Amino acid sequence: MLRVTCTIIGLLIASSITTAHEKCHANLSGLGMITTNSNTAQNSTCTLPSEAYVGSMTGDDDSERRKPVVNVGNVTGASSFDDNEVEDEDAKLERLMAWVKEHGGIIDAVKVSTISGYRGVVAARDMKHGGFGMTIPARLFISLISVLEDPSLGPIYTANLNFFGEDEYLILSVFLAHHMQLQNKSFYFPYLSLLPEPETIDNWADDELSVLQDSAIIQRAYKRKHDLLDHYHTLSALLFRKYPDVFTPDVFPFHMFRFAYQTITARSYGDSVQNCSSKFENICPETVLVPFVDMLNHATHGTEWFGYENRFHWHPAITYREGEQVFLTYGNRPNDDLLSYYGFAMEHNEFDTFNLNMDPATYAVLPKIESQNAPTDLTFTLTLSTKIEEDILPHVRGLFLPANMSDANRINASVPISRDSERQALDFVFYHVQQQLDSLPTTLEQDTAFLDDRRKQNNLPHKLHAALIYRMSRKRILQHVLSSVTETTERLNNLNSDSALESLYEAWNEVKA
């Protein structure tokens, strides 16, 4: 995997650029994206796209882009696993496939390939929907059963059950890191030698995170970083003290633990994969790594996979022609999840979301409401399919109903009451959505132009591409809601009387249907 090293380099090339940079920095600071103090001021950098873009991401050539509905996050190149061998990718892949087949895996219908600069799996022959794809035996799985069978780690785990508890991620991280240190002495060497560096944004630098223009996901990344470091300190203190013959700071450094933990987080499957083991008091693994299968990239169409008879079975969810890339789905996830776990965002992600709080306290023209039952917590999860008449307005109307309206109607305002109150509710939603768009350092149009320009220049490193796609998708959601509010307001203004309100949304939905 090509590890993209990304740096934002500030360029003060003109007074207009400087002004734009200062505006951007102020906006990002207000959103909690940049914290400037005496210790960090020199390292705080703000990034603007388009003509006012004051930074550049440099690194390995990563100019090829993903198809809009798939993830191809496994970049070809060297693994972080240091096997002390000078091997090319093809030799490692041949070793992995031979290892899988030797132990009962059936993978003849697929093969690993490089697709637009990224590692993926393609059909080796035509494959019908629901037909046979591949099967991997449990002998190759990495799970809690693997830990218990390990002569060094099994006793450590069983002697410290109270410490490890039910968190299989911790002990599996120890197992993975330990076997990476064993290198070619490990049974899993053919698999481990090909593991790419995890792509999670938890490993991004502060200036790279700021390009996302989202304080919530940045705070999530910070928290995950700190939590992981806390896990390591607690875990390593136990291992170094009780098992110095197996674990030392040299053989179990933080970066090795982080690699192992993030690999398991991103590549593991759930408890439906592996059968319970009668050998170990009927232990049922809940977290399982399945070699080779985890090379499949993500697509939005469904995946047919299941475990039975201690084997992992994958069947194509659609028909594939020979040479076409085949996929798994990582689930119906919004882009913040995809970025947090896998380091990519989907340009056309129907499951993407934007959480927006519409605080009545910030709305200056809000009338005084005597009722204690007026809505106060107005946080909405917006999507490209959000319907304002169903998902937003019933919760907002209570702020603008006449003073003599009963509390019951104020709480459950499922239908419009009057043109005036409905117009006020629409204005309230418009204000908060527009305010959110205005608070962002760049517009969707600027981002689109900048992305197109970088693509034409063949200069679009992976992290910059992911950040742009992420923030553009969020802005599209806001613009969708804003357009819906505008259209509804226009229709409302064309009504001649309150009696026509009943048809306001009914007629519109019939037209859209």
Domain tally for the chain? 2
188 and 288 both lie in a single domain: yes
Q: Please give the pLDDT value at position 360.
A: 85
319 and 364 both lie in a single domain: no
Which contiguous run of DSSP H or E holds residue 305?
strand 304-308
Whole domain around residue 83: which residue ranges? Answer: 70-342
266 and 407 both lie in a single domain: no
Domain assignment present for residue 431? The answer is yes
Q: Please give the pLDDT value at position 399.
A: 83
pLDDT digits (tens, 9 = 90+) for 497-506: 777 776 667 6
pLDDT digits (tens, 9 = 90+) for 26-44: 333 333 333 333 333 333 3
Q: Please give the pLDDT value at position 340.
A: 93
Q: Which two tokens stand for residue 306?
A: 């299941």
Q: What residue spans of 193-292 are helical by DSSP H?
A: 206-210, 215-242, 254-267
Q: Which residues, at least 6 apart from 314, have a Cβ–Cβ distance to it below 8 Å?
A: 133, 134, 135, 293, 296, 303, 304, 305, 328
175 and 289 both lie in a single domain: yes
Q: Are 127 and 326 in contact (CB under 8 A)?
A: yes
Q: Please give the pLDDT value at position 405.
A: 62
Domain assignment present for residue 56? The answer is no
260 and 230 both lie in a single domain: yes
Domain assignment present for residue 250? The answer is yes
Q: Which residues, at least 6 apart from 355, have a Cβ–Cβ distance to it below 8 Å?
A: 216, 379, 380, 381, 382
What CATH number is given to the structural domain containing 477?
3.90.1420.10
User: What is the C-alpha to C-alpha distance for residues 273 and 88, in angstroms, rounded to an integer?
Assistant: 32
pLDDT digits (tens, 9 = 90+) for 447-493: 999 999 999 998 999 999 999 999 999 999 999 999 999 999 998 88
Q: How far is CA 431 from the centre of its chain?
A: 29
Q: Please give the pLDDT value at position 78.
A: 42
482 and 403 both lie in a single domain: yes
Q: What residue spans of 72-214 are helical by DSSP H?
A: 89-102, 144-149, 153-159, 161-164, 168-182, 189-192, 206-210
253 and 302 both lie in a single domain: yes
Domain assignment present for residue 307? The answer is yes
Q: Please give the pLDDT value at position 308.
A: 63
Domain assignment present for residue 58? The answer is no
Of the residues 342, 373, 403, the one at which a domain ends: 342
Q: Please give the pLDDT value at position 233.
A: 97
Low-confidence ranges of the chain (pLDDT < 50): 1-78, 83-85, 371, 410-411, 507-513
Q: Please give the pLDDT value at position 496.
A: 79
What would the DSSP string read from start to end of 330-387? --S--HHHHHHHHS---TT-TT--EEEE--GGG-TTPPP---TTS----EEEE-TT--
With CA atoms as reference, report the closest residue to 468 among 483, 482, 454.
454
304 and 425 both lie in a single domain: no
Q: Please give the pLDDT value at position 412.
A: 54
